Structure 1
Amino acid sequence: MSNKTLRILIADEQHFYRMKIERLFNQLGFYRIAPVHSLEELLTLIEYASEPFDLVVINAVMAAGALNLPDYLRDNRQVRHAMIYNGQSVTLSPIPACVQQTVQISHAPLPDLSSIQRQMTLIDPQLPFIGTVTSVR
């Protein structure tokens, strides 16, 4: 059973991608999700959040040239874990092994159900990991 209190922030410029990722989280039982469409909106929500986000899922393209995402997410007290996807489209500095537990970088253009489920089992150990999962289109 999933922890219904976990706060998740999804950032992608494409509405369709935000909705697709949100539906994947919904399949796993997570519903406290804030989707945002711009880097400015993401930074504002993180800065003024009343409590930390348990997971920030962000398209690396959004911060290209404007912000070093791994460093920002790692050093921010308002972010407990982060998943950066579409990492091949921008240059990201290598992440030290001690940080990889909190900041994950994927070169996939979009996270799939199994990658989200793997990430959530790190954040929510009560979530059972199902060996084979199918994704909703």
Structure 2
Amino acid sequence: MPTPSLRILVVDDQPAQRLSIEKMLNQQGYHRIAPVETIAELLAMIEYAIEPFDLLIINSALGTDITFDLDDFLLNCPAIRHALVYDGLLLGEHVSISTLQSRVIKKLLRAPDERTIISFMQAIDPPKGHPKRHTLLRSEP
């Protein structure tokens, strides 16, 4: 049974892709989803957030602005607990787990499909009675 209170941000400049990801999450029982189009909207959501977001799903192609370091943001932003990064330009391989707070960060070569969403959500929101996994998921080949 999923935790319906998880707060999820989906960032992609393609409306169809945002909608597709949102539908896949809805089918898994997650409904607190905020779809946004740009890094600027993401940063505004983070700035005004009262509580952290449990998951950020983002197209890495949006993080190519020279003034925005997506790797650094993912590792150091206290308002983001976990991240699923896909498509576009893959980030560096120096991703690590914060010692202050366990984070799951997974990088994909393409947009997530239903199987990927299910697997990732089980990693960050395991079924009740199962221990939470505190592992880092590496890039797909």
Name the CA distance, whole Å, in 1 between partners of 2:10 and 2:106.
Answer: 14
1:10 CA displacement: 0.1
**Partner amino acid, structure 2, of 1:43:** L
Name the CA distance, whole Å, in 1 between partners of 2:112 and 2:27.
Answer: 14
Name the CA distance, whole Å, in 2 between partners of 1:40 and 1:101.
Answer: 23
The aligned residue for residue 103 of structure 1 is: 105
SS at match of 2:81: coil
**Partner amino acid, structure 2, of 1:82:** A
**Partner amino acid, structure 1, of 2:55:** L
The aligned residue for residue 3 of structure 1 is: 3
Moved over 4 A (4+): none
> CA 1:70–1:103 in 2, change beyond 3 Å: closer, same or farther?
farther
**Partner amino acid, structure 1, of 2:17:** Y
Name the CA distance, whole Å, in 1 between partners of 2:89 and 2:10.
Answer: 18
Q: Deviations over 1:2-44 (max 9, x none)?
A: 1000000000001111000000001101000000011100011
Name the CA distance, whole Å, in 2 between partners of 1:70 and 1:8.
Answer: 19
Contiguous gaps of at least 5 residues in structure 2:
129-141
SS at match of 1:29: coil
The aligned residue for residue 39 of structure 2 is: 39
**Partner amino acid, structure 1, of 2:15:** H
Name the CA distance, whole Å, in 2 between partners of 1:14 and 1:26.
Answer: 18
Name the CA distance, whole Å, in 1 between partners of 2:44 and 2:121.
Answer: 24
TM-score normalised to the size of structure 1?
0.83
CA RMSD of aligned residues (A): 1.9
1:96 CA displacement: 3.7
TM-score normalised to the size of structure 2?
0.81
The aligned residue for residue 118 of structure 1 is: 119
Q: Is contact 1:74-1:102 (8 Å) kept?
A: no
Identity percentage of aligned residues: 38
Higher RCO by CA contacts (8 Å cutoff, separation 6 or greater): 1
Name the CA distance, whole Å, in 1 between partners of 2:95 and 2:19.
Answer: 31
Name the CA distance, whole Å, in 1 between partners of 2:11 and 2:106.
Answer: 15
Count of residues in Structure 1 that have an aligned counterpart in Structure 2: 125
Q: Is contact 1:70-1:103 (8 Å) kept?
A: no
1:97 CA displacement: 4.8
SS at match of 1:10: strand
SS at match of 2:56: strand
SS at match of 1:54: strand
Name the CA distance, whole Å, in 2 between partners of 1:113 and 1:95.
Answer: 27
The aligned residue for residue 75 of structure 1 is: 76
